[in-house]
Amino acid sequence: MEKEKTEKFDHMKLINDYAGSYKNLITLGKLIAAVSAVLSLIPFYDLWKIIKIAVNGEELSKIKAYAWQAVILTVLSLFVYIAALFCTHIAAFRVQANMRSRLMRRIITLPLGVFDEEGTGKIRRIVNDSTAATETFIAHNVPDKVVAAVTPVGLMVLIFAFNWKIGIICLIPALIGFVCMMSMMGKGMQEKMTEYQNALAEMSGEATEYVRGIPVVKTFGQTVYSFKRFKASIDNYGKWTTDYTLMLRKPMIGFMTCINAIFAFIVFAAFLVTKDGTSQTDILNIMYYIIVTPLITVALTKVAYSGEAEMTLVDAMKRVESVMAIEPLSESESQNVPKDNSIELKNISYRYKDATRDAVSNVSLKIKQGEHVAFVGPSGSGKTTIAELIARFFDVTDGEILIGDTDIRKVPQKSLMDRVSFVFQDSRLIKTSILDNVRMAKPDASEEEVLEALKKAQCMDIIDKLPEGIHTVIGEKGTYLSGGEQQRITIARAVLKDAQILILDEATAFADPDNEAKVQAAFDELAKDKTLIMIAHRMSTVMNADRIYVLDKGSLVESGNHEELMNQNGLYKKLFDEYTKSIEWKVGA
């Protein structure tokens, strides 16, 4: 199955598809490039004429005419080639723009969970680099490919026109070189190329995630674990690069030897042709072939490079199509509106793509409107996954999630997004003013509304110390906010959005002691009269919840309020005792 798909991948059709009406420009560019290739070969005929005149001692003034013709045609061919580049560049930019806008339009319809699953680094690489590779291919490699195809044909004519015997001998090394080259572009090579590119993508993805994860690494001391994945990706890349290179070694040596050995064959040809005595025509031809045969080298090298460029292109386009192939969240026709802000999970399960076991299995629970609940459990127990399922980052594999008695898959996405706010532990601010950062939650909010939200989120001390208040651009002129401060700004964002269901995932994890009290006060303000789900490391924050759900390995194992759970003497009590101990440790230290 998989193999069949790879073979059917028609990249030129896809390019035409992205190019739209600009595909005619690509065709025009190809035609002009062909003309340029032919023009560039004619001077070699002039050259033969010039040598002939010189060897035969004819009238030297004729040489001048041929020389001028050669010069003019060479320059002309260059200009014609530039015209071809012009056409293909315009088309290439259009294709790149179309690809990027189609990709982005697709990406915004994708379930938010895809960005966790695929890694944002990888998606960024596809949107930027893979489309750029396509642009380079169309702009430069398409005309080069035409030249690379036309030149050998023209060369054949030039080589066989004057002396077919020398022609054949000169072709021997070229043919061997060609065979070596084809073996470099065989089917196995495309696979190796894909694996090599995969390893590269994975390494750069891991690097992005690693750098981004440094705060987590430092806070929770996960050094060894995170190093492992990054290092594994580097090792893997090293392995594939070596493999790929080693596989190319033999054909590459053969290719380089052949195409550079053409001169040796001319000596041999000259020997054969002149062994029964030398005529002036023989001298003429041999001189001519000495000049022309290096062209074979140039032409073959071009063909080789255009083949490699094509492999890179196929790989890039496949990556783009892989993103285009991800199914967007289904948008229901019916315009159901949840009747209130209660949440019910009915026997839900979720399994991540390619995972061997469920991240969440058979969880059922009910959260009343306005109730404040907490999810606790060891790391990896499925807390974040459940929270993300409620916000419909992805759809459950099994079961049903109801908000206000309505299946969330039947609620229009916009209306669901308006109803649910999500604050993550690593909510990031974008590089724009504080005003615009907060306003993202409600684009038509006035400045007063934004200020009000910032006040409620306890951010005024941050705003006051900034040079231009809420108009200060974050990340510019050394304006950086601490993790806790950024956290408070993102809370202001949630305050402004004023969604009725609030999910806080490890939202206080990075707050320093100074910030923690403020962040907590901001949360209290934010959660007033809201349905609240909080996930927290710090047991002190979850103790006061109306109800606490304890998760372990994806299953719901206990639930109740703090007292009830402590009396049960189960997992909750164990987690709580561990937490208290760790606090004592810190105090003791």
Both tokens of 526, joined, read: 């934010």
Given the structure tokens 């001298």, which residue do they identify?
283
Query: Would you say 289 or 393 has its CB closer to Mg ion?
Result: 393
- Within 353-479, residue ranges assigned H as helices are 383-390, 413-419, 434-439, 447-456, 460-465
Query: Would you say 141 or 384 has its CB closer to Mg ion?
Result: 384
Residues in CB range of 120: below 8 A, 6 or more apart = 208
Shortest separation between residue 325's beta carbon and ligand ADP, angstroms: 18
Sheet with 343-350, side-by-side order of all strands: 360-367, 343-350, 398-403, 406-407
Query: Would you say 36 or 381 has its CB closer to ligand ADP?
Result: 381
First to last CA, the chain: 61
Query: Would you say 138 or 548 has its CB closer to ligand ADP?
Result: 548
Cβ atoms of 444 and 459 closer than 8 Å: no
Angle between helices 11-19 and 23-56 (to 10 degrees): 110
Q: Pick from 33, 304, 343, 359: which binds ligand ADP (CB under 6 A)?
A: 359
Q: State how beta strands 531-535 and 372-376 pair.
A: parallel
| From 51-59, 142-150, 341-349, 380-388, span contacting Mg ion (CB under 5 A) | 380-388
Shortest separation between residue 509's beta carbon and Mg ion, angstroms: 10
Residues in CB range of 434: below 8 A, 6 or more apart = 454, 463, 466, 469, 470, 471, 472, 474, 489
Q: What angle do CA 140, 141, 143 make, to 5 degrees?
A: 75
Shortest separation between residue 581's beta carbon and ligand ADP, angstroms: 20
Query: Would you say 20 or 215 has its CB closer to ligand ADP?
Result: 215
The answer to whether 379 contacts ligand ADP (rule: CB under 6 A) is yes
| From 251-259, 307-315, 380-388, 470-478, span contacting ligand ADP (CB under 6 A) | 380-388
| From 304-312, 374-382, 425-433, 580-588, span contacting ligand ADP (CB under 6 A) | 374-382
Residues in CB range of 419: below 8 A, 6 or more apart = 338, 341, 403, 411, 499, 500, 501
Q: Pick from 381, 406, 508, 531: which binds ligand ADP (CB under 6 A)?
A: 381
Q: Pick from 12, 355, 430, 460: which binds ligand ADP (CB under 6 A)?
A: 355
Q: Enumerate the β-bridge partners of residue 365.
A: 345
| Single-letter code of the amino acid located at 8 | K
Report which residue's Cβ sits closest to Mg ion.
384
What backbone phi and psi angles, to 5 degrees, belong to 349?
-135, 150
Both tokens of 231, joined, read: 């290092």
Report the site for ligand ADP in 293-352 (rule: CB under 6 A): 352
Report the site for ligand ADP in 102-161 (rule: CB under 6 A): 116-117
Q: Pick from 20, 186, 294, 380: which binds ligand ADP (CB under 6 A)?
A: 380
Shortest separation between residue 78's beta carbon and ligand ADP, angstroms: 53
Q: Pick from 384, 433, 515, 531: which binds Mg ion (CB under 5 A)?
A: 384
Instruction: Count interface residues toward ligand ADP (CB under 6 A).
Output: 13
Where does this chain bind Mg ion (CB under 5 A)?
A: 384
Where does this chain bind ligand ADP (CB under 6 A)?
A: 116-117, 352, 355, 359, 377, 379-385
